[in-house]
Amino acid sequence: MNVLGIINFEDNTASIDGLGDYRPVPAISFLGRYRIVDFILSNMTNSGINNIQVYCKEKPRNLFEHLGDGKKYNVNSKRGKLRILYGEKSFASPVYNTDIANFVLNMQYIESDPNPYVIIAPSYFVYSFDFTDAFKQHLDSKADITVLYKTTDDAKTSFLGCDTLTMNKNRRVTKIEKNRGNKKNCSISMEAYIMDKKLFIDLVNRAAEISSLFWFKDIIADILKEYKVYGYGVRGYVACVNSLSEYFRINMDLRDRDELNSLFLRDWPIYTQTNDSCPTRFTETAHATGSIIANGCLIEGEVEGSIIGRNVTIREGAIVKDSIIMTDAYIGKGAVLDHVIVDKYAIVHHVKKLEGTDDNPVYVKRRDRI
């Protein structure tokens, strides 16, 4: 595929309280062993995109460490390249740190790429998708821009703050608005666009001239009359991780095997960085049901309906229920956790009961000790 892949970052309407304080959204851990960015990145490499740029809004450290040279994602080490790009100059205010500003600052890398087309997609939409067919349709349709969308009947509770598309019979996009949860049935823009690289560069420059606060999705909404923007409906699993409660819900929903199998498809591997952890050890006192568990853990206590990350220790007598425990966390003897998100390296000692709700899970900070 003669396409440059651009993995964009989410705008400021997406905010993962707590977890987002320590790392950019793409680097947030997902389902025990993945990071959010793994999905879009695997989608691109599986679709045959060799040159990929990952844009990072802030705190690139975590992302550098996780993505490395992209080898784990099957990026060809000679005929392909993975670049992690970010604004090297500091912004007067975080509001100026837009995707447009970052594209402008790294324009030389976009211009010098030999591919005539681009696919721009953010990482905070989680799905498995082969771009091949959408790209072919884009070329056949003579559209200027093709935008992926997902039809949902659940827009009152999920995809809040995302853009919705209004389309005519031919799927030409006529209007883009914010989903404020007023309507149940919506076509949600997945903010993934296919277009000529030349057009992309034009639009970036134009957006930069209009307003320093403009995002790429704003300029798309601005040019619907001038350019032919067509929608491409995506079937199958699509989720948008744009808040802590959504993050929690999405992870919890994936405990259902049918849901899990609709995200992880046969012959569509989702790659991630390996850690060489040994298998997980369950002792005689362990009790585990309805859970997704990564490698390297020691489980002595009770785990029910939870997502357990790598190298987690759950001591005898501890009860972890409907919770997300991240890498290297330690749950001590007798601790009881219900609807809790425990961030990396946190230590929850004995005789503590933590209890959250579906909409309001308790969040235990990174490296915190309780």
Partner 1 sequence: MRSNNIVAMILAGGRGTRLFELTKKVAKPAVHFGGKYRIIDFPLSNCANSDITTVGVLTQYESILLNAYVAKDPNWGLDVKDGGVFVLTPREKDQENFEVYQGTADAITQNIDYLDSLDPEYVLILSGDHIYKMNYATMLAYHKIKNADATIAVLEVPLREASRFGIMNTNKQDRIIEFEEKPAKPKSNLASMGIYIFSYKTLRKYLVADAKDSNSHHDFGKDIIPQYLKDKKQIYAYRFKGYWKDVGTVDSLWEANMDLLDDNSELDLADPNWKIYTEDINALPQYIGPEAHVENCYITQGSIILGTAKNSVLGTNCSIGKGAKVIDSVIMPGAKIKDNATVIRCIVADGVTVEEGVKCGSKDSEHITLVAKRAVKE
Quick check: 22 binds partner 1 (CB under 8 A)? no
Nearer of residues 92 and 278 to partner 1, judged by Cβ: 278
Nearer of residues 43 and 53 to partner 1, judged by Cβ: 43
4: CB partners within 8 A, 6+ apart: 49, 51, 52, 53, 110, 113, 115, 117, 118, 119, 197
| Cross-strand bridge partners of residue 41 | none
Nearer of residues 162 and 324 to partner 1, judged by Cβ: 324
Nearer of residues 187 and 272 to partner 1, judged by Cβ: 272
Please say whether the beta carbons of 109 and 84 come within 8 A.
Answer: no
Nearer of residues 234 and 312 to partner 1, judged by Cβ: 312
Q: Interaction with partner 1 in 302-321: which residues (CB under 8 A)?
A: 303, 305, 308
The DSSP element (H or E) to which 60 belongs, if any, is: none
In angstroms, the CA 102 to CA 7 distance is 12
Q: Which stretch binds partner 1 (CB under 8 A): 88-96, 169-177, 265-273, 315-323?
A: 265-273
Strands (E), 105-200: 117-122, 125-127, 145-152, 163-167, 173-178, 186-196
Q: Interaction with partner 1 in 280-299: which residues (CB under 8 A)?
A: 280-284, 286-296, 298
Quick check: helix, strand or coil at residue 36?
coil
Please say whether the beta carbons of 190 and 149 come within 8 A.
Answer: yes
What is the smallest separation between the CB atom of 280 and partner 1, expressed in angstroms? 5
In angstroms, the CA 295 to CA 312 distance is 9
What is the smallest separation between the CB atom of 261 and partner 1, expressed in angstroms? 10
- In the list 131, 149, 271, 363, the residue contacting partner 1 (rule: CB under 8 A) is 271
Quick check: 165 binds partner 1 (CB under 8 A)? no
Kindly state the greatest CA–CA separation across the chain. 67
In angstroms, the CA 281 to CA 287 distance is 12
The encoded tokens of residue 322 equal 């409907």
Q: Which stretch binds partner 1 (CB under 8 A): 50-58, 120-128, 232-240, 274-282?
A: 274-282
In angstroms, the CA 256 to CA 290 distance is 8
Interaction pattern, residues 225-264, with partner 1; x per rule: CB under 8 A: --------------------------------x--x---x
Q: Which stretch binds partner 1 (CB under 8 A): 13-21, 95-103, 114-122, 269-277?
A: 269-277
Q: Which stretch binds partner 1 (CB under 8 A): 113-121, 157-165, 232-240, 266-274?
A: 266-274
What is the smallest separation between the CB atom of 297 and partner 1, expressed in angstroms? 9
CA neighbor of 311 nearest in space, from 67, 68, 33, 66: 33
Q: Which sign does the torsion angle of CA 247, 343, 259, 270 carry?
A: positive
- In the list 20, 26, 32, 80, the residue contacting partner 1 (rule: CB under 8 A) is 32
The DSSP element (H or E) to which 364 belongs, if any, is: strand 362-364
Instruction: Note the residues at the interface with partner 1 (CB under 8 A).
Output: 31-33, 72, 257, 260, 264, 269-271, 274, 276-284, 286-296, 298, 303, 305, 308
